Amino acid sequence: MNSSSTQKLDIQKVATSRVGEVDFNNLTFGNTFTDHMFECDYKDGIWQNATIKPYGPLTISPAAKVFHYGQAVFEGMKAFKDDEKRVWLFRPVENFNRINKSSVRMAIPEFPKDIFFEALTTLVKMDKEWIQTGLGNSLYIRPFVIATQVGVSASPSTEYKFMILMSPAQAYYTGDVRVEIAEHYSRSANGGVGAAKAAGNYGAQFFPTNLAREKGFQQVIWTDANEHKLLEEAGTMNVFFRVNDTLITAPVSDRILDGVTRKSVLALAERDNLTIEVRPVLVAEIVEAAKNGSLKEIFGAGTAAVISPVSAFSYKGTVYELEKQQDGFASRFKKELMDIQYNRSEDPFGWRFEVA
């Protein structure tokens, strides 16, 4: 689809920053937003009116197609401030490529790379005071696209709005995570939109996740839609298994999101000469590994959560507790990733992207 654009970025600054009103020691993830946001409209076959403006509400028709047919995709990325107050992004090209891949799957026009990076870097520079130093502190960045054409006919929209919001963040999950392996509900199916970061993927997860939470679990590890025999991904994260000293994860497919953190973990594991298996993972083999003691770790990997160790999982009503690993893969990868993100170590992969 046409992704041509106008080039000028209109910048409208706030009169007074709200940053001084924020208690950065008591943040709820995704509830507080910075002074500015980016907005760009697709009309008449072209992306236009690229604007950075004060954060605030939108005026949109109740007949906008996003409300009726769910044409909406998003990304999650972060900016980090090192001890010298330099600001870095982590693998932003991956996020740009993926939002366009998601857009194509949802019949949304791709967004131009030049405007994306100009808007992203300008926005982060303008609101860099919202980024706190120290491990665990970051600026969560949410690019997204919604269908804005007015009309309830069941057809793709001809108008869209691309936006970027930013929110200061601390840890997404505190402590280890308890998960339930899905036996009935599925996140996605063959030929579906599981590989896209489509808004509806997450909306459909909320009900089964609520059921799991009623039983004391924070997340669901999803299984394949056909037989519920294969482990795929966990809620907001890709999932890894450590059996003895082998790191195992499912391959990406049209059912599984190609996570940036997932790719980074695999690259770190390969660099560290660990044994890696990217292959279909059977529920039965992980249950058996938990029973015989060879299952050492399960952990999730994602932008918001970074690395989240799993302390227990449930399957068919039985809970399997995992012994906490003092020097496990999860803690190792989290440290290695964060050292790169916060400019505390060398970056042999070229993942860091300096903004300011």
Yes or no: say if 55 and 33 are a contact pair by the CB < 8 Å rule: yes
Number of other residues whose CB lies within 10 A of the CB of residue 27? 18
Yes or no: say if 106 and 71 are a contact pair by the CB < 8 Å rule: yes
Confidence check: pLDDT of 136 > 80: yes
7 band by pLDDT with thresholds 50, 70 and 90: low
Mean pLDDT of 137-164: 98
Mean pLDDT of 251-279: 96
Q: What does the domain layout of the chain look like in residue ranges?
A: 10-169, 177-341
What is the C-alpha to C-alpha distance for residues 123 and 130, in angstroms, rounded to an integer? 11
Yes or no: say if 333 and 265 are a contact pair by the CB < 8 Å rule: yes
Residue type, 155: S
Yes or no: say if 197 and 75 are a contact pair by the CB < 8 Å rule: yes
What percent of the chain is modeled with pLDDT above 70? 97
Mean pLDDT of the residues in the chain: 95
What is the C-alpha to C-alpha distance for residues 248 and 231, in angstroms, rounded to an integer? 11
Mean pLDDT of 208-230: 96
pLDDT for 3? 46
Confidence check: pLDDT of 190 > 70: yes
pLDDT for 8? 85
327 band by pLDDT with thresholds 50, 70 and 90: confident
Six token digits for residue 185: 């509900």
Confidence check: pLDDT of 186 > 90: yes
CA angle, residues 45, 37, 122, in degrees to nearest 5: 90
6 band by pLDDT with thresholds 50, 70 and 90: very low
Q: Residues near 106 by Cβ (< 8 Å), separated by ≥ 6?
A: 71, 72, 73, 193, 196, 198
Query: From 3.40.630.40, 3.30.565.10, 3.30.470.10, 3.40.50.1820, which CATH number describes the 10-169 domain?
Result: 3.30.470.10
Let me know how long the chain is. 356
Confidence check: pLDDT of 148 > 60: yes
43 band by pLDDT with thresholds 50, 70 and 90: very high
Fold of 177-341: D-amino Acid Aminotransferase; Chain A, domain 2 (3.20.10)
Tokens 């082998």 sit at which residue?
Answer: 246
Number of other residues whose CB lies within 10 A of the CB of residue 319? 13
pLDDT in tens, 172-184: 666 779 999 999 9
pLDDT for 305? 79
pLDDT for 325? 87
3-class SS of residue 175: coil
pLDDT for 174? 65
Confidence check: pLDDT of 2 > 50: no
The residue ranking higher by pLDDT, 235 or 266, is 266
4 band by pLDDT with thresholds 50, 70 and 90: very low
What is the C-alpha to C-alpha distance for residues 13 and 18, in angstroms, rounded to an integer? 12
Confidence check: pLDDT of 326 > 90: no
Mean pLDDT of 239-248: 98
What percent of the chain is modeled with pLDDT above 90? 93
Confidence check: pLDDT of 93 > 70: yes
Six token digits for residue 43: 């009309």
Number of other residues whose CB lies within 10 A of the CB of residue 217? 22
79: closest CA among 38, 40, 43, 129?
Answer: 129
